[in-house]
Structure 1
Amino acid sequence: MLVNADFMRRAIVDAARYRWVASPQPGVERVMLERLAGEHGRATSIVRYAPGAFYPAHGHPGGEEILVLSGVFSEGEQHYPEGWYLRNPPGSSHAPASAGGAIIFVKLARMSPAGQGQVRIDTRQASAWRREQGREICPLFCDAAEQFSLQRLASHEVLFDGAIAAAEVLVISGSLGCEGELHFRGSWLRLPEGEYPGIAAGAHGATVYLRAGK
């Protein structure tokens, strides 16, 4: 299955136009943002767990990245409320579940096999944030190819100050304007190389997940 598989083209999935589809596991639904292969291939999704839903224990040869958007997401006896960022390296395994229901942002099978350890960050903690060039940033992960972070934008603040190699953006709160349309919480944008001076926070600002780099 291919969904938004041409990385040379801009892709936008607005939260108001989500299309939920059933997963192979009862009680788990997904919005497919991008997908390059079958069930275990490279994919980016919004995943919704109904209360009590779970997946049996399974491995992730290509790694997995998770941002908890609402509810509580669990891995065994470890429970992660809204705001937690999880990075499970290639070769890891888990048995994900949610007793009360949860919505998570998930990226699968796109990590390089070397130099990747487990990451757990509670982005609700003030200590996870720092100020860089006038903007509040919560670093999540960084390697030679990509940088992952949460960023807080002031009212009408432009997201990018120049040309970018490529980027992926998820609106966590507030709104983000692009080509005259406002995109609210849960909206996803993938941008190829170029300049995007028109992408800016709405009147009340925004918090975004940002993956920068190819």
Structure 2
Amino acid sequence: MHPEILAQEGYSSVHVDDCPVREVFPGIRLRLLWKAQSGAQAAVLEMDAGTSWPRRDIHAPGPEEVYVLTGTFHDGARDYPAGTFLHAPAGSWHVPATAGGCTLFLFYPEG
């Protein structure tokens, strides 16, 4: 490891297992990984098998970027297997669900 990397201001790291878990809906948990002063943030969302968002997930004020880490994510219209990247522009919406369970990496570039 290069010591000069660690000395850079703002450079940080965290292990997902060390992040507090917040249940956002039954069987759906969020782990906040990072949040900037601007409001940008990164998180991991864990969805148990057979769970779904109880309403539309509207992307506001900015976009949402999703990478499916494990399982299969369903957006209300189609399935996305592990390894899929999705970009949802500001103002768009979906109804997150999963039949078999999934884990997602979420990034919100705007606050």
TM-score category by the smaller chain?
0.7 to 0.9
* 8 A contact 1:60–1:109 mirrored in 2: no
* 8 A contact 2:46–2:102 mirrored in 1: yes
* 8 A contact 2:22–2:31 mirrored in 1: no
Q: How many residues align?
A: 101
Determine the C-alpha separation between the residues in 2 that align with 1:96 and 1:36.
Answer: 25
SS in 1 for 2:25: coil
Q: How does 1:171-186 map to 2 (within 5 A)?
A: none
Once the two structures are superposed, what CA deviation does each residue of 1:122-152 show, in whole Å capped at 9, x if it has no partner? xxxxxxxxxxxxxxxxxxxxxxxxxxxxxxx
1:94–1:87: structure 2 CA closer, same or farther, 3 Å change rule?
same
1:47 aligns with 2:45: yes
Determine the C-alpha separation between the residues in 2 that align with 1:72 and 1:10.
Answer: 32
Determine the C-alpha separation between the residues in 1 that align with 2:29 and 2:57.
Answer: 18
1:35 aligns with 2:35: yes
Determine the C-alpha separation between the residues in 2 that align with 1:88 and 1:23.
Answer: 23
| Paired position in structure 2 for 1:149 | none
Determine the C-alpha separation between the residues in 2 that align with 1:20 and 1:26.
Answer: 16
Gaps of 5+ in 1: 1-7, 112-214
Determine the C-alpha separation between the residues in 2 that align with 1:20 and 1:97.
Answer: 22
Determine the C-alpha separation between the residues in 2 that align with 1:93 and 1:24.
Answer: 17
| Paired position in structure 2 for 1:57 | 56
* 8 A contact 1:20–1:29 mirrored in 2: no
- Give the letter aligned to residue 52 of structure 1: G
The Cα shift of 1:20 comes to 4.7
Determine the C-alpha separation between the residues in 1 that align with 2:82 and 2:27.
Answer: 19
| Paired position in structure 1 for 2:88 | 88
Q: How does 1:84-163 map to 2 (within 5 A)?
A: 84-110=84-110
RMSD: 2.3
Determine the C-alpha separation between the residues in 1 that align with 2:80 and 2:50.
Answer: 15
Once the two structures are superposed, what CA deviation does each residue of 1:65-85 show, in whole Å capped at 9, x if it has no partner? 000000000111310000100
- Give the letter aligned to residue 50 of structure 1: D
| Paired position in structure 1 for 2:13 | 12
- Larger relative strand fraction: 1
Gaps of 5+ in 2: 1-8
- Give the letter aligned to residue 48 of structure 2: A
Determine the C-alpha separation between the residues in 2 that align with 1:35 and 1:98.
Answer: 26
> What TM-score results when the alignment is normalised by the length of structure 2?
0.78
The Cα shift of 1:31 comes to 1.8
| Paired position in structure 1 for 2:78 | 78
Determine the C-alpha separation between the residues in 2 that align with 1:75 and 1:97.
Answer: 6
